[in-house]
Amino acid sequence: MASALERALANPMDAWLQGPTSGLRAIATGQPPGIYQRKPQNAKFFTYIHEFVPGTTQSWVAGAVNIANSFNIDGDAKFAVMKQARLAFLEDNTEVDDDTIKFQVSPVSEAFNFTETFLANYGSGRFPNQLATPMVLPRTAIFTALASNRNAAALLSTIFFAHFGAKIYDNPFIGPRIYRQQKPYIYPATFATGLENSKPSLPSASTDIFTLRTDGDSDFDVRRITVVSDAPVTVQVRTDDDNWFQRAIRGELIGGSFIAGPGAVGTVAGELPFFLPVPRLVSGAGFINVQVTNLDAGEVANRCQVCFWGTRLYPAGGVNK
């Protein structure tokens, strides 16, 4: 008679979590043993970003209308937009949401909103706008955002607009894996002088990289991120020689908050973390490289911590039978 593990392997449509199953023995952790199946993976989390930055984006001046910011979707994979978030502010960092934006895709000449919509209609890093169905963009397509400076203050703003989703490949790049145990876990990348396992706090206008090494006995499935800091930062994450974001992203767009005094909203990053629309798997003894830039030009060093929340899956690489 086939074992529970053999039956799970024989049916690739089994649910992600099928255990715990009697007769299996704990192998690495005190958590209950079971059959945990991860299906073949042909999609991975990624983020594209449109930006309108004074002095950088051509023709982006006060009162500008329908200014384009475009980029090409990578040629190796389609991209499915699943969530969107905006961050817009004036020179004094006052938030502004009454500028407008719309999008189009070429060469198929497909529009996803046909007229200007206020930024206030879209989500923030705390509450991203969840699309009812994914917006699938073909390989090498030109993805364009058209922004207009319409705010009531008649002042030029800075706009960042993030499209969170998945790169979708024709063939799986990770095969099916069966695991015997799992447990929740957190890997923090810390820039805070004096804390355990930390790099020094970030001096003004500086960049540093924290390299995390995951444990070798288990794979790590990243499901959510939290970012906390004393002042604004940008973040870039890299695993398997592959960036998670098209360019370094503002911490606020992935739910970031200040460590102390989070502001009028009254929430900190841990209360409204950023959930990846699709997980990112880091193999056992893998590396997570976290690059953080301190955007504060003041004299006080900026503490920052980027935490990766997910599931450790035992044993690393899974079992075959």
Report pLDDT digits (tens) over 162-209.
999 999 999 999 999 999 999 999 999 999 999 999 999 999 999 999
Q: What is the pLDDT of residue 25?
A: 62
pLDDT tier for residue 265 given thresholds of 50, 70 and 90: low
SS3 sequence of the chain: CCCHHHHHHHCCCCCCECCCCCCCCCCCCCCCCCCEEECCECEEEEEEEEEECCCCCCCCCCCCCCEEEEEECCCCCEEEEEEEEEEEECCCCCECCCCEEEEEEECCCEECCCCCEEHHHCCCCCCCEEEEEEEEECCCCEEEEEEECCCCCCCCCEEEEEEEEEEECCCCCECCEEECEEEEEEEEEEECCCCCCCECCECCCCEEEEEEECCCCCEEEEEEEEEEECCCEEEEEEECCEECECCCEEHHHHCCEECCCCCCCCCCCCCCCEEEEEEEEECCCCEEEEEEEECCCCCCCECEEEEEEEEEEECCCCECC
> What pLDDT shows up at residue 271?
87
pTM: 0.90
The tens digit of pLDDT for each residue in 112-162 reads 776 899 999 999 998 999 999 999 999 999 999 999 999 999 999 999 999
- pLDDT-derived band at 107 (thresholds 50, 70, 90) equals confident
Residue 39 pLDDT greater than 70, yes or no: yes
For the chain, what is the mean pLDDT? 89
Percent of the chain with pLDDT over 70: 88
Check pLDDT > 90 for residue 11. no
Q: Would you state the pLDDT for residue 35?
A: 85
- List, in order of start, the domains of the chain with CATH numbers: 43-168 (2.60.120), 181-314 (2.60.120)
